[in-house]
Each structure stands twice: as structure tokens, then as C-alpha cells.
Amino acid sequence: MSQINFYPTESSQLNEVDFNNIPFGKVFSDHMFSAVYEDGEWKDFQICPFKELTMHPSMMALHYGQSIFEGMKATVAPDGTPLLFRPEKHIERLNKSAERMCMPVFPEEVFHQAVHKLVGIDRNWIPSREGSALYLRPFMYATDKYIGVTASSTYRFLIITLPVGPYYSKPVNLKVERKYVRAVKGGVGEAKTSGNYAASLLPAKLAKAEGYDQVMWMDAHEFKYIQEVGTMNLFFVFKDKIVTPATEGAILKGITRLSIIELLKSEGHKVEERPLAIDEVKEAYKQGELVEAFGSGTAAVVANISQIKDVDIDMKFNESNWKLSSRIKSFINGVRIRKEKDRFGWIVPVKEQVSH
Ligand code: COI
């Protein structure tokens, strides 16, 4: 066990929060975890009051983009035990992102200890309503004070937490992106790195100006195969099968995506992870073979797609058919609050509940 020092806040903000009306991404809990990487090792593990950070103007993350993050969720059981959803998958993915971005991996054991302790300390910040959660944002960035393209030798790793409701409060309509690309095989599309999200902003802004919520990314070589939405992975429900694009290096390996595949396969559904051409989707839609489409992600959980617009087609999805996605969403949300049996072993109860 590593030593994690705890410095409690002197003024909790908990009473300021309206748990019936939580805007996503704007409300932060009382404490955060912090660690620094220096001289080749991670050290100075602490949980301290949530506060602003100081930085040098040449801090390398700002200039050269060595910055990665995760998004995970904590919920609460009816008996008050805080619960984590697949934390081991999140540290695994964080460290894969770190390797790709030439950053140091974070010790798994310290990560688990930090998450348990932090969530245990701020357990009263976990919303109890189904579909809501305490969103955990672990992130790492380069801190060397240096102008020059090289990997930093120092880093900071933090975990901040936010009570949240669903990321999308209504079904999502998508525009097929025909000009810009998100990622190429061999690039950084599989890493959860900040630049991937920055690159999505202009196309998303243009799509929003036309009335769409987001763009649907296509492969960067031929604009033929569907990738993801940027905030979510994608699933297409055909009459005889469910298809999700194979990640293959350019698509984020979603943990909700993985959980959905496990659930559907266990129920005997035919699930295919493979390159999915947009033409196959269009053809199935025209033939009445495409039943529904939905997105999956930690923040979004499961988001119904109401429309996919391409240059030659406007596919509309009828709410009365959103049966599979509704069931998956309610299963995942239900497992998270122990309303559904955790038959896949996704849930990890929080071990350490420090009083302060
Ligand atoms: C997540 O789903 O956790 C993400 O990081 C995506 C973002 C839309 C919040």
C-alpha cells in the first residue's frame, strides 16, 4: 500500500448542490487526488481540497499536447455503499493512452487505492437517482517548463469528481462527416488524448449550425466505413444482428461498448465487431432491415439516435423501435445501483470510507 495523505477541506460545497438539477461537467466535489512524476517515479500522493492549479507558461502539455484522460463512474447501492464500474478497465486504458502519448504509466495499485479513498471521502456527492452518478475524471499532463518538441520528464496526475446526470438529455441526431476526419490507423484515435476532442470541435460546430447534435466520423482513407461519434461508440441493430465498428486502431475502445457486447452475447444475440460500411447501413435502412442505432459511452451510457443524415439520405429512427437500447440502458444503470444483478462482475464496492 502506498501512502496517500489526506488534507480535508475546511468548507464543503455539498450544500450548494441541487441534486435534482445537475448540469453535466460544471459541478465539482470537495476533494481531488493528486500525484507528481519526477526523477522517473510517481510520488507525492495526496487527496486535498479541490482547487485551481498553477502552471508555467511554457508547461509542455499546453504546447505539445501530452495530455490524456479517462471518464469513469461511481454510483451508490441502496444500503449506501459506493460502487465503481469496471475501474480496472479504466486504468488499463489510461495506461495504454499513456504509452501511445509517450507518457509514464500510472501504478495500477495506487490508482485503485486513490479511487477508493477519494470516492469514499466524497461519497455524499454521489447522486442516488437512477441514471445519475459521480463522474470521475482521472487525467495526466506534461509539466516540464520547456519549449521544444520532446517528451516531458515531469507529469501531474489528478482525479477530480463531478456529480452528473445523463450527458445527452434527448435523442441525438447525427450528420455523416464528409470533409474532416477524426483519426487514422496508426494515429492516436484509440488513445483518450485531448487533441482528439479538440479536432472534433470545428466539424461539430458546423454540424450544430445545421441543426445536428454531432458528426458521425468515417474512416480517413475512403470515407466508407463508420467509426464513432467522438463522444460515443456506435451500435446498429439490424433485424438479424447487431453490428458495432471494429476498433482496429482508430476508434476508442469504449468500456460501455465492451460491456454492451458482453451483455448482448450472453443473451444469445448475434453481435458482430467488424468494419461497417455506411452503404450497408443505408441499404438496410431502405429495405426496412435496420431497426435502431445507438451510441454508448461512460458519460452518455446509451444514447438513442433519432436521425443520421448523409448527402444522399436522411435516415430517421422511430422511437417505438428503441427497445434493445432502452433495455441495455436500463440494465447498465440498474447494475450500477444494484437494482439489477451484477452477473458479469462489473461492479466493485468502494473499500475505504474515510470520515472527515
Ligand atoms: C466519457 O464518456 O467519459 C467521455 O470522456 C466523453 C465526453 C463526452 C465526456
What mean pLDDT do residues 189-203 have?
96
> How far does the centroid of ligand 1 lie from the alpha carbon of residue 298, in Å?
6
Q: What kind and span of H or E run contains 331?
A: helix 323-336
> How far does the centroid of ligand 1 lie from the alpha carbon of residue 232, in Å?
7
From 71, 25, 67, select the one nearest 232 (Cα to Cα). 71
Q: Residues spanned by CATH 3.30.470.10 within the chain?
A: 5-165
Which atom of ligand 1 is closest in space to residue 71's alpha carbon? 3
> How far does the centroid of ligand 1 lie from the alpha carbon of residue 230, in Å?
9
pLDDT digits (tens, 9 = 90+) for 199-222: 999 999 999 999 999 999 999 999
Chain mean position to CA 225: 22
Ligand 1 pocket list (CB less than 6 A): 71, 167, 231, 297-299
**Global confidence as pTM:** 0.96
Question: Looking at the DSSP assignment, which residues form a beta bridge with residue 6?
Answer: 47
| Distance between CA atoms of residues 317 and 313, nearest Å | 13
Is pLDDT of 356 > 70?
no
pLDDT digits (tens, 9 = 90+) for 41-76: 999 999 999 999 999 999 999 999 999 999 999 999
Is pLDDT of 352 > 90?
no
Q: Residues spanned by CATH 3.20.10.10 within the chain?
A: 172-336
pLDDT digits (tens, 9 = 90+) for 219-256: 999 999 999 998 999 999 999 999 999 998 999 999 99
* Mean pLDDT of all residues belonging to the chain: 96
Task: Quote the pLDDT of residue 267.
Answer: 96
What mean pLDDT do residues 121-150 have?
97
| Distance between CA atoms of residues 146 and 149, nearest Å | 9
| Distance between CA atoms of residues 123 and 136, nearest Å | 12
What mean pLDDT do residues 291-315 have?
97
Range 172-336 classified under CATH 1.10.287.610: no
Q: What's the N-to-C CA distance of the chain in angstroms?
A: 21
Q: Which fold would CATH assign to domain 5-165?
A: D-amino Acid Aminotransferase; Chain A, domain 1 (3.30.470)
User: Ligand 1: which of 137, 231, 232 to mutate, most ligand atoms within 8 Å of CB?
Assistant: 231
pLDDT digits (tens, 9 = 90+) for 82-119: 999 999 999 999 999 999 999 999 999 999 999 999 99
> How far does the centroid of ligand 1 lie from the alpha carbon of residue 250, in Å?
17
> How far does the centroid of ligand 1 lie from the alpha carbon of residue 10, in Å?
31
User: Ligand 1: which of 214, 298, 301 to mutate, most ligand atoms within 8 Å of CB?
Assistant: 298
| Distance between CA atoms of residues 191 and 4, nearest Å | 28
